[in-house]
Amino acid sequence: MDTALQPFEQRTIEAAIDFASSVIAPNAAVWEQQRCLPPERIGPAANAGLTGLLLAEAQGGRGLSKTAMARVMEELSKADMAYAFVLVVHNNFMNAIAQAGSPAQRERYLPGMLSGKYLGAFLLTEPQSGSDAANVTTTARRRDGGWILNGAKAWITSAASADLLSVYAQTDASQGWRGIAAFIVEADHPGVFREAPYSTMGAHVMGAGGFRFEDCRLSDDAMLFPPGEGFKGAMAGIDLARANVAAMCCGMMANSLDVTLVHAGDRRAFGQRVLDFQGLQWQLADVATDLHAARLMAYAATRAIDAGQRAAIAAAHAKKFATRAALKGIADCMQVMGADGYKHDFPLARHLACAKMAHYIDGTTEIQNVVISRDLLRPAT
């Protein structure tokens, strides 16, 4: 697959492989125990060229295709999907500013985001809405030539340490999704309140949490997407996001399989290597088959996106299948490793928590079924 990519894209993937093995893998368990990003946050990733992946070279970015970006995220997720997902959100926010932002916004924010000085977060989900993404009750009201934000956001990646927020707010509830606008808000702006991070099953490096906005006054130049374009802007990258989640699940499955093969090859029981038991061989063979299928689905979706084709169904299939396959496959690998698989000495427990988390982000498994079933039923309506 990588041979179909441009040489500069292959070099970025190689940089991601090196960064995952030299920086993320040796530290991921400690970061998870500390329940936060490291003090330098994504600065080292920026130094490795892993920010601005989708930005044009003229804007200081890498100019990768969507397929190449997904490959980068797959490699990073072999070490830690939570860290990789922080970079996905950051890169997508940068791309939104590059595509839809004003010249002043691009000049003010992109250099700092490229260098890792500023960490970006995407604020759409709300406490009452969950998967109902259009049910935005955070309000943006016109006042004195600007806007006043009030409301709350939940389940925000990088909420614990983000500097820049893309905030989606309703300007006119009578217009439904057409009333939603988006604003770039600095996290230390008056009227912005950061909630405590959530205590979750795992993936604490993501720093998931919430924000409150209480009479947060913004000028017109804070607007990223105007009413009528906000929700479309939020949904524009959803197919890519789902394909990236599928690719990241592939990374975790691949790493779990590699670790298990080494462990089962070294460990002996009943006079032979654990790996020599046919039942366990077949169990791992099923994981390998699901990994192969998940990869085919993930990159079929990214290639469709790169080609400008309709990719909603392909991305939904990919995310649905890969998240299910990862949760089962990683658990099966842990079982082959015996009780050792349950220990934090190995990455599988961390992967398992992230695989479960993957069932919720960028549309739950049930939402993928909604997308797929609507397409199935269309000829019958």
88: number of Cβ within 10 Å: 28
Between CA 367 and CA 255 the distance in angstroms is 28
**Residue 134's pLDDT is what?**
81
Q: Beta strands 268-269 and 139-143: pairing type?
A: unpaired
**Is residue 2 scored above 80 in pLDDT?**
no
Assign 235 a pLDDT band (cuts: 50, 70, 90). Answer: confident
Return the CATH number of 122-226, one of 2.70.98.70, 1.10.10.10, 2.40.110.10, 2.40.50.140. 2.40.110.10
How far apart are the C-alpha atoms of 121 and 118, rounded to whole Å? Answer: 10
Query: Residue 136 and residue 177: Cα distance in Å, rounded?
Result: 8
pLDDT score at 180? 95
Q: What confidence tier does 135 reach under pLDDT thresholds 50, 70, 90?
A: confident
pLDDT at residue 336 is higher than 90:
yes
Looking at per-residue confidence, does 305 or 271 come out higher?
Answer: 305
Residue 63, amino acid: G
The pairing of strands 223-225 and 268-269 is unpaired
Query: Angle 277-348-158 (CA atoms, 0-180°, nearest 5)?
Result: 165
Residue 93 has pLDDT above 90, yes or no: yes
Mean pLDDT on 298-305 = 96
How confident is residue 145, by pLDDT bands cut at 50, 70 and 90? confident
- The confidence score (pLDDT) of residue 269 equals 87
pLDDT tier at 275, thresholds 50, 70, 90: confident
Is residue 253 very low, low, confident or very high in pLDDT (cuts 50, 70, 90)?
Answer: very high
Query: What average pLDDT does the segment 193-213 reach?
Result: 95
**pLDDT above 70: percentage of residues in the chain:** 99
Instruction: Give residue for tokens 């000829």.
Output: 379
Query: What is the predicted pLDDT for the residue at 300?
Result: 96
Residue 25: what pLDDT?
A: 96
What is the structure's pLDDT at 133? 75
Model confidence at 160, pLDDT cuts 50, 70, 90, reads: very high
Residues 6+ positions from 56 with CB-CB distance below 8 Å = 63, 98
Q: Is the pLDDT of residue 237 over 90?
A: no
* CA gap 144, 349 in Å, rounded: 52
Which residue type is seen at 291?
L
Question: What residue spans define the domains of the chain?
Answer: 2-118, 122-226, 237-380
The pLDDT of residue 131 is above 90: no
Q: What is the architecture of the domain spanning 2-118?
A: Orthogonal Bundle (1.10)
pLDDT of 381 strictly over 70: no
* Mean pLDDT estimate for the chain: 94
Poorest-pLDDT segment among 68-72, 147-151, 277-281: 277-281
Q: Which CATH architecture has domain 237-380?
A: Up-down Bundle (1.20)
- Residue 310, burial from CB neighbour count under 10 angstroms (0-12, 13-18, 19+): exposed
| Rounded (5°) CA angle 348-349-351 | 60
Residue 130 is predicted with a pLDDT of 72
Is residue 3 over pLDDT 80? no
% of the chain exceeding 90 in pLDDT: 87
Could you report the per-residue pLDDT of 68-81, keeping only the tens digit for each? 999 999 999 999 99
* Neighbouring residues of 343: CB distance < 8 A, sequence distance ≥ 6: 349
Helix (H, G, I), strand (E, B) or coil at 239: helix
pLDDT at position 128 over 70: yes
